[in-house]
Chain A
Amino acid sequence: MTDVDDDRCEVGEGHVTDADDHLGPYEAVTAHPEGETTVARYAQTAADSEFAGVVVRTWEASVDAAAVREQTGVDVVSAVEVDADDPASASGAVGNARPKCDVVIVRGGTSTLNRFAVEQDRVDVVAAPLQGDGDVDHVFAKTAREHRTYVEVNLGPVLRAAGGERVQHLQSLRKLRELLDYYDTPHVVSARPSSHLEVRAPRELVAVGETVGFEPETVRAGLRAWGEIARENRRRRSDSFIAPGVQRVTREEDTG
């Protein structure tokens, strides 16, 4: 056999899926200065609550991810949650954020922003689509599936709100759940904590989800999905990635 170059292109069979089963639940948090808790403290709480990782929605948050990982064993994922008033400014922010971080999130809240977010391949997650005047419909769910944009199921108001606000959120959540089920739209689940006191463990989120109508497996899958998005984007951002299914690999010299 002839020598094989150290670096060469290889056409693989698409996505690497062998480690899917090992991904644990992740929580996506708002960290200091936007939230009340630093990333390191979130990681400590996440470790105590049996989360495998935290997705940091706040780009300005400073953290030594390696030190945090070493001390707590929790994976710290860099992310940006774009909070824009209209699609035009959101688009610019998404373009800036994409090359810098592992997960790009767009905060929904109006029908136009929700639609913008799900139509963009560059956006990974549309967050809090039901917040404010936000509403979802079948077109939203279908488009999200086509563009592989994950829709966030926000359990925050279920945990922390009461009365009319919570009832309205539960109503919207039911509509969202039925749409996600029917159109098989990818989704993520989060309690949207803005301090470590608002973090709730995966089992608790599953239990709360169950009481408001979500299948336990739906909630678990939604918590794992953050990690799946991060892993896929890290793979894409690594130097060896060329195109989907094509990556640069290092080959040992063939013998015999």
Chain B
Amino acid sequence: MTHLPKHARPRWRYLAVEIETWPDADLRRDSVQRALWYAAQNLLGDPGSADADLSVVRFRFGDGVGEAVVRVRRDEVSTGRAAVACVSTVDGAAVGLRVVGVSGTIRACEESYLRADGRVDDEREVVTQSDGRTRHVRGRLVDVETASGFVGATEIDYSETDSEIDYSETDSETDNSETDSETDNSETDSETND
């Protein structure tokens, strides 16, 4: 088929999307694309989904953070945004998505809103605490592995003592004696803070 004349070609907009997951998740472009289509179809139905014509045209991911460029029809930016917001899991892994900007070209989208060097965020550091829990540190952000899954925190939660956060509730079954003393500490801490 010949190319359409320029005035007859579809007009696109490109959504710059930031992606965040727990440290153990591994996302791939095709699984994100599938999740996006699924979300769009569920939210907008077949006709709405076809109108929005969402596709993931750029994708980078590593160590729990990533970014993507999502193409959408020009007059469907709002519905496209809604569909992106409704992607809550990809292959069973919880994902946080955020549209950080909209551009008319892929290049402008990447240059204005995404990381220009093509690398995804700074290195993630893995620290093992004295009690055996693993902390995944990325800049100010800290994800802590507990018995019942990850807990999202930041360096503020660790600014004073190592056991500022009280995990006793989530971990009570696995280790008793250690967490008891932690509980006492953090309770007195929070009282003095108030």
Contact B149 A38, beta carbon cutoff 8 Å: no
> Which of A1-9, A130-138, A196-204 is near enough to bind chain B?
A196-204
Q: Cβ of A159 and Cβ of B96 under 8 Å apart?
A: no
Q: Give the segment of B54-62, B81-89, B125-133 that binds chain A.
A: B81-89
A160: nearest chain-B partner, CB-CB? B88
- Interface-facing stretch out of B5-13, B104-112, B115-123, B158-166: B158-166
Contacting residues, chain B, for A44 (C-beta < 8 A): 140-141, 154
Of B42, B84, B141, B169, which contacts A41 at CB under 8 A?
B141
Number of interface residues of B (CB under 8 A): 43
In whole angstroms, how far apart are the Cα atoms of A204 and B141 in the complex?
A: 23
Scan residues 25-76 of chain B and give those whose CB is less than 8 A from a CB of chain A. 42-44
CB of A211 within 8 A of CB of B43, answer yes
Q: Which residues of chain A are near B44, meaning CB under 8 Å?
A: 211
Minimal Cβ-Cβ distance residue in B for A211: B82
Contact in complex: B156, A37 (CB < 8 Å)? no
| Interface set, chain B 124-146, CB cutoff 8 A to A | 140-142
A203/B193 contact (C-beta < 8 A), A36-B151, A41-B141, A195-B152 known = no
Contact of B169 among A33, A67, A203 (CB under 8 A): A33
In contact, B99 and A197 (Cβ under 8 angstroms): no
A218 interface residue, CB < 8 Å from B?
Answer: no
Selected from B22, B78, B86, B170, the residue in CB contact (under 8 A) with A159 is: B86
The smallest C-beta distance from A8 to any residue of chain B, in angstroms, reads 31
Whether A62 pairs with B153 at a CB distance below 8 angstroms is: no
Bound form: Cα–Cα A200–B141 in Å: 18
Q: With an 8 A cutoff between CB atoms, is B91 at the interface? A: no
Which residues of chain B are near A86, meaning CB under 8 Å?
none
A208–B43 Cα distance when bound, in Å, is 9
A38 to B189, CA, bound (A): 15
Residue of A whose beta carbon sits closest to that of B93:
A197
* B78 contacts A32, C-beta separation under 8 Å: no
- Inter-subunit contact B79/A207 (CB<8 Å): yes
Q: Which residues of B approach A to under 8 Å, CB–CB?
A: 18, 20-22, 42-44, 78-79, 81-82, 84-86, 88, 94-99, 140-142, 149-154, 156-157, 159, 164-167, 169-170, 186, 189-190, 193
Supplied contacts A37-B153, A43-B154, A200-B85, 9 more A-B pairs, CB within 8 Å: A32-B165, A33-B170, A48-B18, A67-B156, A67-B159, A196-B20, A198-B88, A207-B78, A211-B78
26 A-B residue pairings within 8 Å (CB atoms): A32-B151, A32-B165, A33-B167, A33-B170, A36-B150, A37-B151, A37-B152, A38-B154, A38-B165, A40-B153, A40-B154, A41-B153, A62-B164, A62-B190, A63-B193, A159-B88, A166-B42, A196-B20, A197-B152, A201-B99, A204-B81, A205-B85, A210-B78, A210-B82, A211-B79, A211-B82
